[in-house]
Amino acid sequence: MAFDAPEDLDEFRTSVRDWLEENCPPSMRTPLKDDEIVWGGTREKFKNPESKLWLERMGEQGWTAPEWPAKYGGGGLNKAQARILQQELRKIRARPALFSFGLWMFGPALLEFGNEEQKKRYIPDIVKGKTRWCQGYSEPGAGSDLAGLQTKCEDKGDHWLINGQKVWTSYADQADWIFCLVRTDKTVKHEGISFLVFDMETEGVEARPIKLISGSSPFCETFFTDVKVPKDQLVGELNAGWTIAKRLLQFERSSISAGGFGGTGGSGILPPQEYAKQHVGVDESGRVADGDLRARITEHLMYSKAFGLTVQRSTEEAKAGQEVGHTASIMKYAAAKMNQDKCELLVEALGTDGLGWDGDGFADDAKKATRGWLRSKGNSIEGGTSEINLNVVAKRVLGLREHQ
């Protein structure tokens, strides 16, 4: 479909509404349940069959990635059309068809740095949710100082040979493929890193889930022992992976800032003010009775509103081609604090029910809130630690000098 002229946008909106009415299944217009989130890939089980149908239909339209080029399976929409699509999806409260590191991080980087063969090979399956990706960045000795990574990649003529370990690899045990930073020259730091992709089923790859304090295991330790990777799976130039890594981190921090954090608890969790009214009580005017808690909830709501508007502005600036690298660091830091503050308020507003962890004595949403509060402790580490992001802001935004 081509709707480039302004007068055609109304026609485009009508066509979107008609398509959604015909193709968005009824249950996909209800609040998303935690156990019905679709990450795609070959191991996806689709607890709700309509989730599969919704993904297939959105993927065929390319509307899981509406602005990506149509020749790679994307929607091929311009910015105005993509905005209309999002508006119409929100109107019917449609669930996201797909959650995907491929959509949020790897795909945008590949469109920018990959060659034509790689784009044609990997992007269509990302759009349709056929391949689930994980991120091979952090290592036991290279988290905050990512450029210090030591996972070794040797050129063996007809293939690359990888040995090393990654850690905090989100969903590595469920992913099909990994985008991975490796050291191809140990005599230099940033200029000795390359960016590879490979199949997680390759011999020598092992993922071990890490159990978190919240009880879940979304992160893994990932080990590479004599892993052979075809030469054509190097993205970009040899030893030029740091540039791709930084760009991808911008995409990651932007997606996290836009609401990609874990810890809030998922579906079924009410806003903190609702729990406070139920568990703490209200005064004669119907407000939360505890004045201090009421003030902190109000401050959080104001902060959240301002943050949401700033994210919206930043997103529009990024779509307009403006540099968002430093903004991403600011927003990631702010998003981590905001999410942790919200989780603290939720537990406090629940009163003694906020102590719930397991068993029949506590409601499911109370237990979710408690586990979410514990999970939120990782927000200031994942996707770039708060300390690193503050350093970026100090040096590159404020122009402060190194501490002497």
> Which residues have a catalytic role annotated?
252
Q: Which amino acid is at 335?
A: A
Sign of CA dihedral 128, 159, 148, 114: negative
Q: How far apart are CA 298 and CA 116, in angstroms?
A: 51
Q: How far apart are CA 355 and CA 368, in angstroms?
A: 11
Q: How far apart are CA 177 and CA 132, in angstroms?
A: 6
- Dihedral, 125, 129, 131, 134 alpha carbons, nearest 10: 120
What is the Cα 301 distance to its own chain's centre?
23
In the numeric block, the tokens 């980087």 are attached to: 109
Q: How far apart are CA 239 and CA 31, in angstroms?
A: 45
* Helix pair angle (272-279, 291-319), 10° resolution: 170
Residues in the chain: 404
* Structure token digits, residue 35: 């156990």
In the numeric block, the tokens 């679709």 are attached to: 38
Q: How far apart are CA 66 and CA 127, in angstroms?
A: 9
Please name the residues in contact with 242: beta carbons below 8 A apart, sequence gap of 6 or more.
Answer: 147, 190, 191, 193
DSSP, collapsed to helix, strand or coil, labels residue 286 as coil
* Structure token digits, residue 386: 């708060």
Q: How far apart are CA 224 and CA 82, in angstroms?
A: 40
Sign of CA dihedral 143, 145, 151, 155: positive
Q: 99: buried, middle or exposed (CB in 10 Å: 19+, 13-18, 0-12)? A: middle
| Nearest C-alpha neighbor of 350 from the set 290, 297, 278 | 278
Q: How far apart are CA 334 and CA 252, in angstroms?
A: 14
Please name the residues in contact with 188: beta carbons below 8 A apart, sequence gap of 6 or more.
Answer: 239
